[in-house]
Amino acid sequence: MKQLILKLGREKSLARRHPWIFSGALVRVEGDPDTGDTVAVRAAGGEFLAWAAYSPVSQIRARVWSWDEKERIDGDFLRARLRRALDVRKRLIAAEASDAMRIVHGESDGLPGVIADRYGEVVVLQLLSAGAERWRTELSDGVRELAGCACVFERSDADVRELEGLPVRSGVLQGALPAAGVHIREHGLVYGVDVAAGHKTGFYLDQRDNRKRIGELARGREVLNCFCYTGGFTLNALAGGAESVLSVDSSAGALAQARVNLERNDLDAARAEWQEADVFKYLRTLRDQGRSFDLIVLDPPKFAPTAAFAEKAARGYKDINLLALKLLRPGGLLASFSCSGGVSAELFQKILAGAALDAGVEASIVGHFAAAADHPVLLSFPEGDYLKGLLLRRG
């Protein structure tokens, strides 16, 4: 039988239903399992703990599929998990809010390493673990059937696959992409989405509710949107009645898509200014020019994928937030985000407190941001709580 035997006392995290088994917890591997094979995980005394997917090269040596010894991990099991995930979304996300959502969120949906994002009639599938890769065909078939989509597009190109010893995969799995491109609707706005080459799976679905909130706060304000990507926060701010929005990103391609999105929604282009630049450098330029704003959005890319990068990430977060606070007018608002799993909410707040101190300003927390409801966080898996944000008011 293919199974993993844990060291004495190392079953405690599994007893708390944490779904990862690290290599250092194992005393031996039995049955010569291949990459992605389902293995039984047993305590040192032989007691069954879980069924998990084996990954021989990753530090996360196995990821739990099920805690039930009677369960069989097969296509029917995966289909049932997919159906459950879809049913949850139907109850949580109103159809009128958007036709784009995350329909599978990895470990939090009992499908470790599986991400599935729906963009209208296209579902983008990411398989980020050895176990997910092992069931690639079954997962693709199940997603297309249960979601009723016209196309399943694979974006298994994240860096984490290298840690699993897996090759990069990207392209159409089933069906065909729409000839006119992929477009989605969110809170009354329409966006084009590049599912083939865009960030993540093409769009930041986790920020759906936060984009709407920024739109509500923007009326009558001069706004600075940093790391704007394809203009999500920008479009919401303009639609919400912002006096002006200066949007900054280092990607010419993203800015070009943002401009197209602006035109697509018939928003006033005269209130929108676009700047291709390194945000860290450009914030200093704005400071030197004496510019100031009523509302600033900082939504940078991931600085710390794990806690090992937290110290370096902290310096980056402090730098941009310090500069932003100096550019913020008294009474102005700063919406500052971190999508770094290696930076906790507590640490992020400490970083912003340090930034305010060094900037010589007083600031108060007047709101919190988190991922939308289609990105659930399993209570026993705090690593899934990656997106956090604070809304600060400068005194």
Superfamily (CATH H level) for 204-394? Vaccinia Virus protein VP39 (3.40.50.150)
Residues of the chain within CATH 3.40.50.150 domain(s) are 204-394
Q: Which of 168-182, 304-318, 346-360, 370-384 has the lowest mean pLDDT?
A: 304-318
CATH topology of domain 3-66: 2.30.130
The whole-number average pLDDT for the span 319-342 is 96
Q: Rounded to 5 degrees, what are φ and ψ at 319?
A: -60, -55
Please give the model's pTM, rounded to 2 decimal places. Answer: 0.95
Cβ atoms 54, 113 nearer than 8 A? no
Residues of the chain within CATH 2.30.130.10 domain(s) are 3-66
Residues of the chain within CATH 3.30.750.80 domain(s) are 75-183
Burial class (CB in 10 A: 0-12, 13-18, 19+), 202: buried
Task: Provide the pLDDT for residue 313.
Answer: 82
Task: Provide the pLDDT for residue 307.
Answer: 67
217-260: pLDDT as tens digits: 999 999 999 999 999 999 999 999 999 999 999 999 999 999 99
125-149: pLDDT as tens digits: 999 999 999 999 999 999 999 999 9
Task: Provide the pLDDT for residue 287.
Answer: 97
Kindly state the percentage of the chain with pLDDT values over 70. Answer: 99
Whether residue 304 is predicted with pLDDT greater than 70 in this model: the reply is no
Task: Provide the pLDDT for residue 314.
Answer: 86
CATH 3.40.1190.10 fits 75-183, yes or no: no
Question: Whole-number mean pLDDT of the chain?
Answer: 96
228 is catalytic: no
Instruction: Name 180's Cβ contacts closer than 8 Å, sequence gap at least 6.
Output: none
Nearest to 338 by CA among 230, 210, 158, 167: 210
16-48: pLDDT as tens digits: 999 999 999 999 999 999 999 999 999 999 999
